[in-house]
Amino acid sequence: MGYHRSYLIHDLPPFTVIVIDGLDECTDRDQQVELLQGILRCIDQLGSSIRFLISCRPERHLEKVFDDFDLSHSHRIHLGQSAEDNDDIRTFLRLSFGRICQDRRRDYTMSITDRQWPSDEQVEELVDRVSGQFIFAATVITFVDDEPKTQWKP
């Protein structure tokens, strides 16, 4: 039987940060809520030597949990909510789609159409959906540029 050691709060270094990245990506919403509630319930008991950094999209069920607790000692940072961020993402998407379209016209994949691809409405929908997160926009471009996909018909 191997050696097992339980770690208690007093075993931790003087200042510890526990990072929970992508809480909203857990598949079960109930588990997301349960985990967040558990952390927030015991946060005052842990003292100032333990800090939590929790990242998640602003999902309604998680926002409600945060709102239900007194978090006067916490800081919320909303990322990617500015018009400038959206302008940068819009520019990136248009330039990237333009390059893809030009490359596809050269290899005849899109040579049969003269209309703009994707449409302004489709670009705006993507800008809204990426919620200011550049990595999401870059992933979309990588996916589309990989090979012609039927879901992106001109």
**102-141: pLDDT as tens digits:** 877 666 556 556 667 889 999 999 998 888 888 889 989 9
Residue 41 counted as domain residue: yes
87 and 139 fall within a common domain: yes
Residue 54 sits in the same domain as residue 91: no
Q: Does 76 map to a domain?
A: no
Percent of the chain whose predicted confidence (pLDDT) is above 70: 77
CA distance 25 to 14: 30
**Together in a domain, 88 and 63:** no
Total tally of structural domains belonging to the chain: 2
Residues 33, 34, 36, 38, Cα dihedral to 10°: 160
Q: Which residues are CB-contacts of 49 (< 8 A; sequence separation ≥ 6)?
A: 9, 12, 14, 15, 16
State whether 125 and 99 are in the same domain. Answer: yes
Same domain, 106 and 130: yes
pLDDT tens figures, 24-41: 888 899 999 999 999 998
Domain around 44: 9-68
Among residues 32, 15, 31, 12, the alpha carbon closest in space to that of 23 is found at: 32
Across the chain, what does the average pLDDT equal? Answer: 79
pLDDT reading at 98 higher than 80: yes
